[in-house]
Amino acid sequence: MCGIFGIFGHEEAANLTYLGLHALQHRGQESAGIASSDGRGLYVHREMGLVQEVFPQAVLGRLVGSAAIGHVRYSTAGGSGIKNAQPLVVDFSMGSLAVAHNGNLTNAEGLRKELEGRGSIFQSSADTETIVHLIAISRGQTLEKRVAEALGQVEGAYSLLFLMPDRMIAVRDPLGIRPLCLGKLKKGGAPVIASESVSFDLIEAELDRELSPGEMLVMDWGGVRSYFPFRREERRECIFEHVYFSRPDTRVGKGTVYEVRRRCGEVLAREAPVEADVVVAVPDSGVPAAIGFARAAGLPFEVGLTRSHYVGRTFIEPQQTIRHFGVRLKLNPVRSTLEGRRVVVIDDSIVRGTTSRKIVKMLRDAGAREVHVRISSPPTRWPCYYGIDTPTRGELIASSHTSEQIARYLTADSLGYLTLDGLQQTVAEVTGGTTPGGFCHACFSGSYPIPFAPTPSSRQLPLLS
């Protein structure tokens, strides 16, 4: 998971990119970076840390120019470190180029070996460097042509931003797996690109539309031009963005992610009903579905668990020195909600099951008479190869256990999941445009829209530099 943002044609390009990245901070807290252009050259700064830590005012001030792209990153196994921070900035035959990437290539290892065989050198373990090499060896006359030619060779998920001194290019992969949308500033109309529409809200831009799968937008002083350089494919948007990653206030189609999640809760209440006294959420991501579940079930929605915001997001933090205090550092029960009650607790997903098990115990210790776990997505059974850092199959509890077995492991009185049909139907209804078949749901179904190399690389990677 990463977040990307770009703007072309505003004198405070770096400042607006800083704000845009701040709004995307939930998509990655490991490193942040911005590259700007003043029409002649590129300027870049990237570092480990949160956006507000990486960019004190003095640093932002050095990122001059009227175009900029930015990136926030979370770490993946083995790929942590400043070397993989983005945007990547290189010099090549056409001049200087900066790239920001959200996604994951499935044929990167093969391409890398080919490129190395041809004489290329690699200074990071990021797929992005592979894309840049392909652009550099392309014989296209324009950056657009080279980007199209390079991306024609890669497979996988990518939302990309390219910046050269005179232009910015945004591309969404042919299946549209990772999100990317276009907006424009209310004042002046400069085009902006972001992973989620929440970036636009903050900087007073308005959402124009999502990029179509396979679309390439070229922005320069002549305006914004749209191309479709790839073979058209069936849309396969990542459905897990709706379940977990995107912010609830992000707009999708004619609705919002919040609405999707609340309605998933409603459907879940019908698909997996239970006799109970109260519905609580695992905060914050479980709240919308819990509101929906409670309403559809005719049960009161209450706050049963509070969350400390002085500890980072479990799923994303690369180093957790205080993990041994367990989930209690982050979550705490509200005793008056739970005592003597039959409690339904709503979460967005179960990965390994260890956290859920601790939550059930926490609820019981606080006096809950019964604990019924309801998950607002189907069982997570398969790893993602398209840019989300999930455990291996073996670690995913649902890949090898039935719901009954999992419920027993969690010590829950019952466990219920949303069906894949229910999820797809709901997302399609809320977003309004996508047909139920238009999603990538490989993490639930194992139905991968893009084939991938079966053996992950075991190559020894250089340490942090």
Q: Does 187 bind a second copy (CB under 8 A)?
A: no
Q: Which is nearer to a second copy, 126 or 177 (CB)?
A: 126
Measure the CA–CA gap between 345 and 237, rounded to whole angstroms.
28
Question: Least separation, in Å, of the C-beta of 183 and a second copy?
Answer: 14
Q: Which is nearer to a second copy, 77 or 461 (CB)?
A: 461
Q: Which is nearer to a second copy, 295 or 369 (CB)?
A: 295
What count of residues does the chain have?
A: 465
Q: Does 141 bind a second copy (CB under 8 A)?
A: no
| Residue pair 148/159 in contact by the 8 Å Cβ criterion | no
Question: Least separation, in Å, of the C-beta of 35 and a second copy?
Answer: 8
Q: Does 101 bind a second copy (CB under 8 A)?
A: no
Q: Does 225 bind a second copy (CB under 8 A)?
A: no
In this structure, what are the phi and psi dihedrals at residue 367, rounded to the nearest 5 degrees?
110, 0
Q: What is the DSSP secondary structure assignment for residue 63, as one 8-state letter?
A: S
Pairing of the two strands 237-238 and 439-440: parallel
Q: Does 464 bind a second copy (CB under 8 A)?
A: yes
Q: Which is nearer to a second copy, 248 or 391 (CB)?
A: 248
Question: Least separation, in Å, of the C-beta of 192 and a second copy?
Answer: 15
Question: Least separation, in Å, of the C-beta of 295 and a second copy?
Answer: 7
Part of the chain binding a second copy (CB under 8 A), chosen from 171-179, 211-219, 241-249, 415-423: 241-249
Q: Which residues contact 358 (CB under 8 A, 6 or more apart)?
A: 326, 327, 328
Q: Site size for a second copy, by CB under 8 A?
A: 86
Query: Angle, nearest 10°, between helix axes 257-271 and 287-297?
Result: 40
- The correct pick among 142, 319, 336, 435 for binding a second copy (CB under 8 A) is 336
| Residue pair 383/390 in contact by the 8 Å Cβ criterion | yes
CA distances in angstroms from 201 to 175, 181, 193, 452, listed in the order given: 26, 13, 12, 37
User: Is the bond preceding residue 284 a cis peptide, omega within 30 degrees?
Assistant: yes
Q: Sketch the per residue contact string, 41 through 60, with a second copy: x for CB under 8 A, - otherwise.
A: xxxxxx---xxx----x---
Q: Which is nearer to a second copy, 455 or 460 (CB)?
A: 460
Instruction: Tell me the β-bridge partners of 370.
Output: 342
Q: Which is nearer to a second copy, 169 or 406 (CB)?
A: 169
Q: Which is nearer to a second copy, 308 or 392 (CB)?
A: 308
Q: Sketch the per residue contact string, 110 through 139, with a second copy: x for CB under 8 A, - otherwise.
A: --x---xxxxxxxx--------xx--xxx-
Measure the CA–CA gap between 217 and 219, rounded to whole angstroms.
6
- The correct pick among 17, 337, 377, 414 for binding a second copy (CB under 8 A) is 337
Report the SS3 class of residue 26: helix
Distance of CA 45 to the CA centre of its chain: 22
Q: How wide is the angle at C-alpha 384 spanned by C-alphas 383 and 387, nearest 5°?
A: 145
Instruction: Please write down the HEC assignment for all residues of 416-427.
Output: EECCHHHHHHHH
Q: Does 394 bind a second copy (CB under 8 A)?
A: no
Residue 265, both tokens: 């809760």
Q: Which is nearer to a second copy, 41 or 451 (CB)?
A: 41
Measure the CA–CA gap between 124 and 79, rounded to whole angstroms.
8
- The correct pick among 12, 49, 90, 316 for binding a second copy (CB under 8 A) is 90
Contacts (CB under 8 A) with a second copy, residues 70-89: 85, 88-89
Question: Least separation, in Å, of the C-beta of 330 and a second copy?
Answer: 10
Question: Least separation, in Å, of the C-beta of 396 and a second copy?
Answer: 27
Pairing of the two strands 278-281 and 255-256: unpaired
Question: Least separation, in Å, of the C-beta of 374 and a second copy?
Answer: 18
Is 384 an annotated catalytic residue? no
- The correct pick among 270, 323, 328, 393 for binding a second copy (CB under 8 A) is 328
Q: Which is nearer to a second copy, 20 or 174 (CB)?
A: 20
- The correct pick among 4, 17, 20, 22 for binding a second copy (CB under 8 A) is 22
CA distances in angstroms from 24 to 74, 308, 317, listed in the order given: 12, 20, 15
Q: Which of 40, 23, 21 is nearest to 31 (CA)?
A: 21
Contacts (CB under 8 A) with a second copy, residues 257-316: 258-259, 262, 287-288, 291, 295, 300-303, 306, 308-311
Question: Least separation, in Å, of the C-beta of 301 and a second copy?
Answer: 7
Q: Does 400 bind a second copy (CB under 8 A)?
A: no
Contacts (CB under 8 A) with a second copy, residues 153-182: 165
**In 152-240, which residue ranges form alpha helices assigned H by DSSP?**
198-203, 240
Q: Which residues contact 74 (CB under 8 A, 6 or more apart)?
A: 1, 2, 27, 28, 29, 30, 316, 318, 389
Q: Does 463 bind a second copy (CB under 8 A)?
A: yes
Q: Which residues are catalytic?
A: 2
